Each structure stands twice: as C-alpha cells, then as structure tokens.
C-alpha cells in the first residue's frame, strides 16, 4: 500500500528534526545543545520534537530500531544452507565492500564516535542499543531453531557473534580516531573479520542452518 500524504509529511518532519539536531550536535557537542534549541532551529515546538522523539538521545540515534533489529533480520532472511554465523559473516563483509554504515564503520564515522564518547548519556544509550541488538539476535535464533525456552544456546551464540562484531568494529574505529582513512583500514579489517569468524566456525558454524523445504534436516530420513 502506498504511503499517504499525511504519513509522508510526518516522516519528512521527523527526518528534518533529526537532521537539524544532528548538525547542531556535531557542531557544538551533544550535551551543549538543548532540545529547545533544536526545536527553534527546526522551526517546530518542543512538544512537536517530543511527539516524534521520546528522548534527546533519540534525536541523534534515530535509527536505533533498525540497528537493534539488524542481526535478527539477517538471521531470519539467511539463505538456504546458511547457518547463523555464515549469514552474519556474509552481511558484515558485504557492508565493508559496499561502504554501508549499518555496522558503524563508514567514511566520516570518526566524528560521530568522538561526539558519542564525549557524552555519558550517549555512551549509555549506545550500550543499551548493543545489548538490545544481541537480545533481538538471540530471539531470532531461538525462533528459527525452535529452541526450548530453557535452552541457553541461542543466547550463547548471539553473545559470541555480537562480541566478534563489537571487537572488530571497535578495532577499526580506534584506527579511524587515530587519523587513518576508511580506505586504508578496510582491507585489514576484512582479514581480521574473517579470522574472527573462522575462530567461531568450529564451535557454532553448523548451528541453526536453514534447510531447503524439499531436503530433510540431518538425521531425518525420507519416508520409504
């Protein structure tokens, strides 16, 4: 169903407020800009800002739902024959190849990281987002594997996968903050990411593989 005029205007207003806020935050620092200043710059009321964004942090981190749900979506949309680990590895390496920002490594990301690290409120919110991403991944794995509610395996797999991503991206960000370009870092990051995923392969590489509907899962025999 096509988007209605009212919905499109609301989406555009939300984006404009977020863009204005992000520009002010990048220029002056998150903690030094008030919501009232954002409202004035965006030519809306403070109430309108809070109608679209529950907190000041959400003005900057407006893609939080997408970020938190990313890994769960990758798992649910994995290809036939792919395990959880293979699907995430493929998607992460694709993001590196295409320069997509979905994993937090992209051109210009160093300025964003500096702003976040300068604000305790943003650091806490990013930590919450990372925890939510891991939790959503565990939920997707549990659903896809039809795990028992008491089975800890989905949470353990999610924790390991998320730790690899957090570690390799953190490594890249530290190099960006030291002044290196994305172009210079990317080849080494790909190698280190592959190495990190390979370390998990022997432990969880075959877990929760998506099987073709026409093919029986391992250990299940075709009827005679």
* Per-residue pLDDT tens over the stretch 13-65: 999 999 999 999 999 999 999 999 999 999 999 999 999 999 999 999 989 99
pLDDT for the residue 3: 65
Query: Measured between alpha carbons, how far is 208 from 184 in angstroms, rounded to an integer?
Result: 35
pLDDT for the residue 202: 76
The CATH classification number of 5-59 equals 1.10.10.60
Per-residue pLDDT, averaged over 207-213, amounts to 69
Query: Measured between alpha carbons, how far is 152 from 136 in angstroms, rounded to an integer?
Result: 14
Are the C-beta atoms of 193 and 93 separated by less than 8 Å? Answer: yes
Query: What is the percent of the chain where pLDDT is above 70?
Result: 90
Q: What residue spans define the domains of the chain?
A: 5-59, 64-204
Query: What is the percent of the chain where pLDDT is above 90?
Result: 72
pLDDT for the residue 110: 83
Nearest partner of 200 among 64, 92, 43, judged by Cα: 92
pLDDT for the residue 183: 87
Residue 112 token pair: 């964003």
Quickly name the fold that domain 64-204 has. Answer: Tetracycline Repressor; domain 2 (1.10.357)
């Amino acid at each position: 169903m096509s988007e209605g005029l009212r919905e499109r205007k609301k989406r555009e207003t939300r984006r404009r407020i977020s863009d204005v806020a992000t520009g002010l935050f990048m220029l002056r620092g998150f903690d030094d800009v008030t919501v009232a200043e954002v409202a004035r710059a965006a030519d809306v009321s403070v109430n309108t800002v809070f109608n679209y964004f529950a907190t000041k942090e959400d003005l900057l981190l407006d893609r939080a739902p997408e970020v938190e749900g990313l890994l769960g979506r990758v798992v649910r949309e994995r290809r036939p024959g792919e395990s959880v680990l293979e699907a995430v590895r493929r998607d992460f390496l694709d993001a590196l190849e295409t320069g997509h920002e979905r994993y937090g490594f992209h051109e210009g990301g160093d300025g964003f990281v500096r702003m976040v690290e300068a604000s305790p409120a943003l650091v806490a919110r990013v930590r919450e987002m990372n925890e939510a991403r891991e939790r959503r991944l565990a939920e997707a794995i549990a659903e896809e594997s039809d795990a028992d509610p008491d089975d800890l395996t989905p949470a353990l797999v999610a924790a390991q996968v998320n730790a690899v991503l957090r570690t390799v991206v953190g490594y890249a960000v530290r190099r960006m903050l030291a002044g290196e370009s994305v172009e210079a870092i990317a080849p080494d990051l790909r190698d280190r990411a592959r190495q990190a995923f390979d370390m998990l392969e022997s432990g969880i590489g075959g877990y929760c593989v998506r099987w073709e509907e026409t093919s029986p899962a391992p250990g299940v025999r075709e009827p005679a």
